[in-house]
Structure 1
Amino acid sequence: MDEDNEHLEEDFYQFLNVPKKAPQEEITNAYRRLSRIYHPDKHTDPLRKKEAEVLFNKTKKAYEVLSDAHKRAIYDNLGTKGLETEGWEIVQRTKTPQEIREEYERLAQQKEERRLLQRTNPKSSITVSIDATELFSPYEDEYDEFGGSSSFPSIDVKGMSFSQSIEAPLTLKDTAFMSGNLSTQRGTGGGSVNVSLRRITSPEGWAEVDLGFGSGLSLSAKGFRNLTRRTFTNISGIITSTDRGITLGFVSTLAHQLDKNTVGYLTYKGGGASSMSTMLVRDTERYRTQANIVLGIPHSFISISYCHKLEKHNGRLRGALKAGTFGAIVEYGLERKVSEHSSLALAMSVGVPTGVMLKIKLSRGNQAYNFPIHLCEEVLPSPIFYGTVAPLVALIIVRRLIVEPYMQQQKAKDIERHRAMHHSQMMTRRREAEIAIDLMKETYRRIIDDEENRKGLIVTKAVYGKWIDLNHRDLNDALTDVTIPLQCLVKDSKLILHEGSKSQLPGFYDPCMGEDKSLYVQYSFHGVPHEVTVQDADSLRIPKQSHRKQT
């Protein structure tokens, strides 16, 4: 994409330093405040008058858009590109702001329909089952009949399976699905193909019909329905025809939301293996826990699982316990995001009679690669220890030596590409910021005098850009001094900055596009020194008692 096709978006709200829901009076006051600084008639020097005219026109444009209900509605939905549409092709000038928003939503829906028709959303999964039980087998002789060590234990691939699915949206209500899978286990294989059609019958439910071909012919019907605001049901029935005859199956689930984060499920399964189960799921921002009781044929069991979400580290810790007539299994593991679109999950499963198994899952977009590795048929300490420690050590090494350097290199390339694409616009905005600061100096001195007389709010130092520490050890080209423009925003010994990038404020520009930025402010209030650092998009209100420097 070249620079002509992509432009840095202007934020009129930030430029005027007003919130997005600002009333007309607040917009007008912000416009008047900037006009007193930038109006060409305020300057006698021809060069300054010409420079001021550029910034005054920018101020006037922001005011004209935000003070006009029609233009503001278009700008809120489409940005400056919507305003630049020739001949008002998107909306008619006679339409109300509400009608403009409805028109925009209609156009967005049409765009979504076109996008759906072009999307197949392919999903695939590959599973490779590995038998590594000889590594920890207690029955292998340590020495052969000649007194030497035994042969190196073998690691076998005992099974593989492949599955693929695509969806073909026909309309916003109708979607067709096609899926297939192939599997082989110890030299014996099989496969199946399924075709489904789902229709959204109402805002409260959908219905689906599925036809499958494999070892036999199957026909199923599914339905979902919201019964109340907190209760829904899911019902499915299946008929399968094989060489052994026809079998019937039925599954019905009733669910109820108990509170904001908790849902209870009651499920009945009928057919060859009948069961009744109840499940309780609690999902919060920090964790997810699930408890399940199943009574059925041939097995009954209870299970409980817990997942702790590590938002700071883009990962999850999992643990589960399952016990019943089949035996018992304990499972624990870690899932970690290794890149923007990839994640790696490691889990250990220890149980009777299954033994010890290491499960590795790599997810990349809509693709999943599963590697269940059977380490031992019995529960022994050594396979549990090595199956837990070895993958974690390998994960740390791969992440530190390969993944993190690669991600940093890609991020640096993206930043450089973005900067090169917008270089001329960045230089223009930098020049505009320098001109704005120069034009603000008279206003700055006046505000300083007023605040000093009342012992009010005086900004003694303000820098904006790449992360800085409070001792200013990192001052460099990625920072810009914004003391003057910040002081010019002080009114009645108060300074309020609304949410949004500070680079759009008058006198500001982005000195390090694509990187995290912050604003550091030193100020004096009633003669007492204060300081604060906020992230680029955060709001800021000063003075505050919490900003006071500790002596």
Structure 2
Amino acid sequence: VITRRRTAREILDEYERLAKEREERNLNRITNANASVNTTINLTDVFNQINSTDENNNHFPVIETKEFTVQQSIDIPLTSQDSVTINAIVTTTNRRGVGLLTTSFRRILSNLSWFRIDLTIGQHPNVGFHFFRRLTQKLQANVNTTFSLLNGGKRLATSGFLFSITYQLANNLTSSLQWKTGRGSFMKGILQYDNQKWALSSAVQFGFTNTFGAIDGVYRFPGVCNLRCSLK
């Protein structure tokens, strides 16, 4: 058996390849790039044909794609306290497309609190403010609001403030209470259970214009997709 020794060029090429792969892994770990694709399909005609008693109804059911969304985001750490997140969303609804580009600047004020500013460019440019504070080991509070530019940037408007308190009941169980002021004000209670395989959320909202109850469940197929089912 004759052992072939690699040349200096081959050793250098392999070293450069490994260094490039290591650099790409570090970049992906630091920037935490995420992408998602969501689609909403209307199967009403399919179920109508299944439940139809008309024997002459032989037409092929219409399957309609109502919404298609593509989202991409990356995190860019600036310092140990500051970071930037860039998020792009493209949505097509009823053959009309809308695109949004959001840049978020986040600063950690202490071990218990942080502050974030969101700048969004789209149909209606807006700026959002979000403050987080951990009150105890299991209790935390949030407050956020958004200001939008309307009428070609001539008028500044806000839909109000959203206050929320979240309490961790168990390792996988949390409860929260939300209160929104201003236009479309409401009070909402949420109970969430989340583990590695599936998540279940129930909510009850009371408002002047929108009162409802909802249950949402997600089953995760690791590395493949998530299956979601909602009832409202």
Whole-Å Cα distance in 2 between the matches of residues 350 and 251 of structure 1? Answer: 24
What is the aligned partner in structure 1 of residue 144 from structure 2? Answer: 236
Deviations 1:20-74 (A, max 9, x none): xxxxxxxxxxxxxxxxxxxxxxxxxxxxxxxxxxxxxxxxxxxxxxxxxxxxxxx
CA 1:348–1:209: 2 relative to 1, 3 Å: closer
Whole-Å Cα distance in 2 between the matches of residues 258 and 332 of structure 1? Answer: 19
What is the aligned partner in structure 2 of residue 275 from structure 1? Answer: 186
CA 1:254–1:133: 2 relative to 1, 3 Å: closer
State the SS of the aligned residue for 1:342. coil
Deviations 1:180-204 (A, max 9, x none): 1111222222111111110111111
State the SS of the aligned residue for 1:295. strand
Equivalences for residues 29-428 of structure 1 within 5 A: 115=26, 119-138=30-49, 142-143=55-56, 150-243=58-151, 245-248=155-158, 249-258=160-169, 262-281=173-192, 290-303=201-214, 320=215, 335=219, 337=221, 341-348=222-229
If asked which structure has higher relative contact order (CA below 8 Å, sep 6+), I would say: 1
CA 1:228–1:215: 2 relative to 1, 3 Å: same
Deviations 1:217-272 (A, max 9, x none): 10111111122333221111110112395331311112334566654322111232
Q: CA RMSD in A?
A: 3.3
Question: 1:350, CA displacement in angstroms?
Answer: 6.2
CA contact under 8 A between 1:117 and 1:169: conserved in structure 2? no
CA contact under 8 A between 1:116 and 1:169: conserved in structure 2? no
Larger radius of gyration: 1
Looking at secondary structure, tell me which structure has more helix per residue. Answer: 1
CA 1:205–1:241: 2 relative to 1, 3 Å: same
- TM-score (normalised: structure 2): 0.71
Deviations 1:106-129 (A, max 9, x none): xxxxxxxxx579732111121222
Whole-Å Cα distance in 2 between the matches of residues 336 and 284 of structure 1? Answer: 10
Whole-Å Cα distance in 1 between the matches of residues 170 and 229 of structure 2? Answer: 33
CA contact under 8 A between 2:112 and 2:134: conserved in structure 1? yes
State the SS of the aligned residue for 1:137. helix
Instruction: For 1:173, give the aligned amino acid.
Output: Q
CA 1:136–1:287: 2 relative to 1, 3 Å: closer
Question: 1:169, CA displacement in angstroms?
Answer: 0.9
Whole-Å Cα distance in 1 between the matches of residues 197 and 89 of structure 2? Answer: 36
CA 1:122–1:140: 2 relative to 1, 3 Å: farther
Instruction: For 1:199, give the aligned amino acid.
Output: R
Question: 1:142, CA displacement in angstroms?
Answer: 4.1
Deviations 1:84-132 (A, max 9, x none): xxxxxxxxxxxxxxxxxxxxxxxxxxxxxxx579732111121222233
CA contact under 8 A between 2:200 and 2:217: conserved in structure 1? no
CA contact under 8 A between 1:117 and 1:171: conserved in structure 2? no
Whole-Å Cα distance in 2 between the matches of residues 140 and 167 of structure 1? Answer: 55
Question: 1:289, CA displacement in angstroms?
Answer: 5.9
CA 1:155–1:297: 2 relative to 1, 3 Å: same
Deviations 1:124-170 (A, max 9, x none): 12122223322222569543xxxxx6332232323322111111111
- TM-score (normalised: structure 1): 0.33
Looking at secondary structure, tell me which structure has more strand per residue. Answer: 2
Instruction: For 1:151, give the aligned amino acid.
Output: H
State the SS of the aligned residue for 1:119. helix
State the SS of the aligned residue for 1:202. coil
Gap regions ≥5 residues in structure 1? 1-114, 144-148, 304-319, 321-330, 352-551
Gap regions ≥5 residues in structure 2? 1-25
Instruction: For 1:179, give the aligned amino acid.
Output: N
Whole-Å Cα distance in 2 between the matches of residues 349 and 223 of structure 1? Answer: 29
Whole-Å Cα distance in 1 between the matches of residues 217 and 182 of structure 2? Answer: 33
